[in-house]
Structure 1
Amino acid sequence: MALYVALVYGPVWFKAPKEFEAPMDSKLLFDCHQEIVARKASLKVTLLRRMKHLLNADGLLMLYIAQVRPLMEYAPLTWMSSARCHLIQLDRVRQRATRLINSIRKKEQRQQLHQGGDHCQLYTVEHRRSVSALTFLHKAQVQHEPHMEDLMVPWRSMERNTRSVLTSNFLLEILRSHTSRHQRTFFTRTAAMWNSFTADVHVQQMNTH
């Protein structure tokens, strides 16, 4: 569906189906979007708390994965450059859900209804965001997905190996950054992670289909 921009006094809204709306502020930043997502996700965790007498720990975990986490992880490459003070709100929601699920699991263990269960350890939202960015970049750079060609990062030109640094054929060119926000954008941050990742992993042998 084609998106159109409605310019108004205040936020700028990219109109799309209601569940996919992403507001930008007057500075073309997604900070207000982060606040809205964190608030919606927090309300859903509150609903999980109200349902804890109806579901066991595994049921609450499944409901969190199905209803809360997708809301916090939709289109992360567009807003991953947001300030950390906004992004950390999402991890606070995850921590609330983790505490809730672990409290129910401890109660089940005391009642001997779920012996031997491990505590819930959910990956941080930042970790999952980094994995999705690297997966996306692998599809574009190595697997050459046609619809991702415009988002490819230039390969780094070959240089001579030294004793301390070995040149890889899969290193990416990292754009020069003049601001901290630019360092957090998809191209700059993911390219830096990719260069560290390829030092230990043979990306050409990976399959992310």
Structure 2
Amino acid sequence: MKDIQNHPPIMFQGQVVSDKPEMKLLGVSFSRKLEWKTHLKNITRTAGQRTSMLRRLGPVFDKAGPVTIYKTYIRSKMEYAPLSWMGASTVHLSALDKIQRRACRLIGLGPEEQLRHNLSSLSHRRNVAAASCLYRMQCIKCHTLLKSLVPPVRQPAARLTRQSLLLNRYSLQSPVPQGMTASRTLRSFDRAFLPAAVKIWNSLPSSVISDITTQGMQSFKCRVNKYLK
């Protein structure tokens, strides 16, 4: 990767911050183009290695034991800071889904048993987490910079249409990309946390969102989890 030319040096506490193609911050690997390829490859490798242990646990435990180990030791690895990289390409995200499917095979769980053990798809869990985070951003006194990311509420339509009738009373304006023209870049923007979370949020009926209050966060998460299944 060629170095970026003609940019001023980045300073921190009097020291020049060197320009690198990737950096790791709080356990998440950020690339210069926010492609998340390296980060998800690292997750996939570690989670895949841990999944192998499930084969040896079968003769020792009933199914509940390996499921608990999978959730706490393997799935948690694949769900660390997911909102930061949920806009990654489908190719890299599907690698995580393969690990969960492999884990279910090793444990011996069919589709119905997976539901009983609360093993929803990873994409479903990321969507629930995104909607829940957007809920919290609207009802908690968070940092002003984070609060400013919440789009304004949609104004009532001048005339009623089928689409406007489907929108909940808390529906938000969709974020608009700035200075993006390439279709590939626009698709990446649409998959990122805020645009994706707003799209999920606007698809929810008013009965699922209910009233946005601090006391209602947990019940909202339960409702949206049930609705999106």
Q: Which residue of 1 aligns with 2:56?
A: 50
- 1:203 matched to 2:222: no
TM-score (normalised: structure 1):
0.78
Confirm or deny: 8 A CA contact 1:171 1:198 kept in the other structure: no
Q: Count the aligned residue pairs.
A: 186
Correspondences of 1:152-163 after superposition (within 5 Å): 152-163=150-161
**Structure 1: 5+ residue stretches without partners:** 1-5, 106-117
In the TM superposition, what is the alpha-carbon distance from 1:87 to its structure 2 partner? 0.6
> Identical aligned pairs, as a percentage?
26
Q: CA RMSD in A?
A: 2.5
Cα distance in 1 for residues equivalent to 2:161 and 2:77: 47
Q: Which residue of 1 aligns with 2:22?
A: 11
Q: Which residue of 2 aligns with 1:32?
A: 38
Cα distance in 1 for residues equivalent to 2:125 and 2:34: 25
Question: Residues 52-81 of structure 1: CA distance to partner in whole angstroms, max 9, x if unpaired?
Answer: 222221100011111111111111111011
**Alpha carbons of 1:199 and 1:160: their partners in 2 closer, same or farther (altered >3 Å)?**
farther
1:13 maps to amino acid: K
Confirm or deny: 8 A CA contact 1:38 1:72 kept in the other structure: yes
The alignment partner of 1:74 has SS state of coil
TM-score (normalised: structure 2):
0.72
Confirm or deny: 8 A CA contact 2:151 2:175 kept in the other structure: no
Q: Which residue of 2 aligns with 1:112?
A: none
Q: Which residue of 2 aligns with 1:170?
A: 170
Cα distance in 1 for residues equivalent to 2:73 and 2:98: 16
Q: Which residue of 1 aligns with 2:114?
A: 120
The alignment partner of 1:97 has SS state of helix
Q: Which residue of 2 aligns with 1:184?
A: 191
In the TM superposition, what is the alpha-carbon distance from 1:47 to its structure 2 partner? 1.6
The alignment partner of 1:201 has SS state of helix
**Alpha carbons of 1:198 and 1:153: their partners in 2 closer, same or farther (altered >3 Å)?**
farther
Cα distance in 2 for residues equivalent to 1:49 and 1:10: 38
